[in-house]
Amino acid sequence: MLTAALTACLLAAAPTPTPPPLREADLAPLFRKGPAAEGKAAYDAGRHADAAARLARAPEPEAAYVRALALLEVPRPEEALKVLAGLEEKVPDLADRVAFLRGAALFAAGRPREALAAWAQVPDRSLLAAEARLSRARAASALGEGAAALEALAPLLRDGAPDDLSRPDLAASALLLAGRIRAAARPPDPAGARRDLMACWTAHPLAPESSECLSAAAALPAPHGGPPSAEETLRRAEGLLDANRNGQALALLEPAVAALRPDDLGAAACRARAALGRGYRKERNYRLAIDTLRPVVAGCEDEGLRVRSLYLLAGASSISGDRDEAVALYRQLARDFAGHAFADDALFFAADLLARAGKSQEAREALAALVRDHPGGDYREEARFRLAWLLKQAGDLDGAIAQLLAVEEEQAGRDGYEHARAAYWRARLLAGRGEDGRRAAEAVFTELATRYPTDYYGLLARARLDGHGGQSLPARRAAPAGGTPEAAYDPGPLREEPHFRAGLLLLRMGLPRAASEELSAIPAARLRAAGDAPEPVLLVADLLDRAGDHRAAHNLLRTRARGALRKPPEGENLRAWRIAYPPAYRDDVRRWAPPAGVPVELVQALMREESALDPRAMSGAGAVGLTQLMLPTAQSVAKSLKLSRPTRTDLMRASLNIRLGSHYLGELVRRFDGSLPLALAAYNAGGGAVRRWLGGRDALDVDEFVEEIPVEETRGYVKRVLRSYAAYRLLYGAPEEASLGLLRRAGGKG
């Protein structure tokens, strides 16, 4: 007979059973039928009283949580309190949210002191902690307890503005409330009030509370009231520039800099001049940017400010057409700031300008110096390819092939893009070297088309095989529509992660926005712990995708699960590809792309690369929305469609933005005779720019023309959109439609 001690030892030594994986049933909606489903549908439709009545008959504790939400909307707070009683024990993964709702119900029921105690139960790790603190402060202030209110607000006063502009800026609200409390205190604290109110105005320039903060600060008694100081104005302008509100920033900076003495190069004056120059550069007013930045580079002491301004000055000089000046400035940066991260960039851009000026030898020397002196620089691989390209242009095909082969061999198994690019162009050069070269090239093209079916260079390789008499490959298709395998995930360390548990439950309850917020709050360390492309990362991305947050889902895969995208979109890996390339806003795309004369999958690809599927995205140049339209372009297209004149806010509406962007892209495709690479280059840089670049290059094949686009951003953009287009066609479309204009001459039909 076993003793109790021996039994305990045996039990302790027994292996812990492995939890089963999460399958589709574990991710499915909780409310699928009965009163819970009916009540949730009523809640989603905004019929809150009806929802509360229907959910009262549902036995699930999760349904009680939704019922409490509905009752607070009606509002019937006392009834909500009864529903919330003891709910933390029944739905422990939402305990912090239950505590927050209890505080809201108590406050609405006229019981502010009890509300304070309830909100204090929301832990600091909760996503509702900041809102709970702000609610506590408002309740304490209403009770005349200013010190308690300020204590609750203290952690919020240091928070920055939210990255997501659709979310409220709670820190700005906290600063406004703190400023008002300090101003009204007995005795008042006008200095502290000024500090908080101006922190709101300077550090939260996009918050609606910002203007209220400025008015409240101006109304403070002397000497604390009055207009903002020069430093406060500068800090706000810098924040506006960071947020791409360039026009608003310039409106503050121009009079401030105009008031400076011409010889004033003190620290504050230099910051103001540098900010103004940056604003002009972002607004593409290159001449004013040059005039403003030149004295900063020549006379300011702050080294970081000087190198950033020198970089902007060189770029503005290049774009404005002063090539020699730009080369000199880039060389100055690389020489004087050799240890700075911009040094290799400067050498590369100098080499690029020299090559375009016909100074091939000087360009090769600059590129060789970059490769030699900056082995860890982010332009090293691009420099190696450009060296090969210059050798090709000079007629040294043996040298070019050797350089490309070295890159190809070094990057095999490391960087798919660099490997594919080097291999493709080596094959292109081999193809012109007799029958043996043609067969060798065909073998490389076949490998690339098979290995990289959705890569830009894999796409080019397939076009070469199909269009030049090589062995044609069968059309690939990832899977039939709806063919994604059933999910089966091992969450690993996420099983005990509170934000994961809450996010999964909220998603199953049909509360996708809250679910997305919880899932996005999972600490990065939890995801990094499992390595590249682990199941936990794929699981979180899948859940975000199900929550409708396609932007966060595909960005997570792009940044933390690249290994999954190096494997073919087949079997279990197909789900990862479909999350990375989601058919976001599909109904709108299907509605507006065909009438515009462009493929549905091309518009999907363009949105993915332009805005990362963020309908509120705004670029530094002022492009807005999913298809990143400039306002004048959007207004011109709207006029041609007999639509009302849109504003920037209008362009953040997905359907309108997709309609206008599709129509504009269709115009460009027709203007460039169906060549998608040229049309995409024009979408990014303008049709006039593409016509200029085509001058003297009409005889080039389109693939060569793309490599010689003088603007790096546009060069990469064309490749990225075509790569995404190939992926979308493979996943959702018809891969066999494959001309794309890839094998045409740049100036006409091939």
Residue 684 is part of a domain; what is its CATH number? 1.10.530.10
Cα–Cα distance list, 474 to 446, 610, 730, 739 (Å)? 11, 31, 13, 15
Q: What is the mean pLDDT of residues 592-615?
A: 96
Residues 571 and 646 in one domain: no
Predicted confidence (pLDDT) at residue 263 exceeds the cutoff of 50: yes
Residues 111 and 90 in one domain: yes
Residue 137: predicted pLDDT: 98
Cα–Cα distance list, 99 to 73, 114, 118, 491 (Å)? 17, 12, 6, 27
Predicted confidence (pLDDT) at residue 466 exceeds the cutoff of 50: yes
Residue 5: predicted pLDDT: 59
Alpha-carbon distance 148 to 140, whole Å? 6
Q: What is the mean pLDDT of residues 488-509?
A: 93
Q: Which residues pair with 22 in a beta bridge?
A: 489
Give the lowest-confidence range in 217-231, 484-498, 702-716: 484-498
Alpha-carbon distance 676 to 706, whole Å? 11
Last residue of a domain, one of 547, 580, 613: 580
In a domain, 407, yes or no: no
Q: What is the mean pLDDT of the chain?
A: 91
Residues 590 and 513 in one domain: no
Last residue of a domain, one of 198, 219, 240: 219
pLDDT tens sequence across 429-462: 999 999 999 999 999 999 999 888 888 999 899 9
Query: Any idea of the CA torsion for 677, 680, 686, 691, to the nearest 10 degrees?
Result: 10
Predicted confidence (pLDDT) at residue 547 exceeds the cutoff of 90: yes
Q: Which residues pair with 748 in a beta bridge?
A: 745
Which tokens hold the place of 215? Answer: 């008015």
Q: What is the mean pLDDT of residues 156-174?
A: 91
Q: What is the mean pLDDT of residues 351-377?
A: 93
Residues 636 and 720 in one domain: yes
In a domain, 652, yes or no: yes
Predicted confidence (pLDDT) at residue 740 exceeds the cutoff of 70: no
In a domain, 148, yes or no: yes
pLDDT tens sequence across 691-706: 998 887 777 888 999 9
Q: What is the mean pLDDT of residues 223-247?
A: 95
Q: What is the mean pLDDT of residues 181-195?
A: 97
Residue 485: predicted pLDDT: 64
Predicted confidence (pLDDT) at residue 748 exceeds the cutoff of 80: no
Last residue of a domain, one of 219, 250, 274: 219
Residue 631: other Cβ atoms inside 10 A: 16
Predicted confidence (pLDDT) at residue 738 exceeds the cutoff of 50: no
Residues 575 and 646 in one domain: no
In a domain, 305, yes or no: no
Predicted confidence (pLDDT) at residue 280 exceeds the cutoff of 90: yes
Predicted confidence (pLDDT) at residue 530 exceeds the cutoff of 80: no
In a domain, 523, yes or no: yes
Cα–Cα distance list, 373 to 368, 391, 707 (Å)? 8, 21, 25
Task: Count how many residues are written for the chain.
Answer: 750
Residue 268: predicted pLDDT: 96
Residue 15: predicted pLDDT: 59
Predicted confidence (pLDDT) at residue 522 exceeds the cutoff of 50: yes
Give the confidence band of 749 by pLDDT, cuts at 50, 70, 90. very low
Q: What is the mean pLDDT of residues 249-260?
A: 98
Give the confidence band of 14 by pLDDT, cuts at 50, 70, 90. low
Residues 592 and 711 in one domain: yes
Residue 750: predicted pLDDT: 40
Predicted confidence (pLDDT) at residue 711 exceeds the cutoff of 90: no
Alpha-carbon distance 224 to 467, whole Å? 75
Catalytic residue among 418, 609, 610, 667: 610
Answer yes or no: are the C-beta atoms of 59 and 84 closer than 8 Å.
no
Residues 554 and 594 in one domain: no
Report the share of the chain in percent with pLDDT over 70: 92
Residue 619: predicted pLDDT: 86
Residues 65 and 204 in one domain: yes
Residue 120: other Cβ atoms inside 10 A: 14
Q: DSSP readout, 664-731? A: HHHHHHHHTTT-HHHHHHHHHH-HHHHHHHHTT-TTSBHHHHHHT-S-HHHHHHHHHHHHHHHHHHHH
Residue 290: closest CA among 253, 242, 325, 250: 325
Residue 559: predicted pLDDT: 82
Residues 208 and 127 in one domain: yes
Residues 550 and 623 in one domain: no
In a domain, 446, yes or no: no
* Residues of the domain holding 504: 488-580
Predicted confidence (pLDDT) at residue 629 exceeds the cutoff of 90: yes
Contacts of 419 (CB under 8 A, 6+ apart): 407, 408, 411, 412, 413
What are residue 486's phi and psi, to 5 degrees? Answer: -65, 140
Residues 680 and 654 in one domain: yes
Which tokens hold the place of 521? Answer: 């709050």
Residue 472: predicted pLDDT: 47
Quickly list H helices, 452-585.
456-467, 498-508, 512-520, 524-528, 535-546, 550-560, 562-565, 574-580
Predicted confidence (pLDDT) at residue 184 exceeds the cutoff of 70: yes
pTM of the model: 0.83
Residue 6: predicted pLDDT: 53
In a domain, 315, yes or no: no
Predicted confidence (pLDDT) at residue 405 exceeds the cutoff of 60: yes
The CATH number of whichever domain residue 31 belongs to comes to 1.25.40.10
Report how many domains make up the chain.
3
Alpha-carbon distance 75 to 109, whole Å? 9
Cα–Cα distance list, 600 to 110, 476, 589, 673 (Å)? 54, 18, 6, 19
Which tokens hold the place of 341? Answer: 């991260």
In a domain, 493, yes or no: yes
Residues 561 and 625 in one domain: no
Predicted confidence (pLDDT) at residue 281 exceeds the cutoff of 50: yes
Burial 673-704 (b: 16+ CB within 10 A, else e): eebbbbbbbbbbbebebbeebbeeeeebbbbb
Q: Is 209 a catalytic residue?
A: no
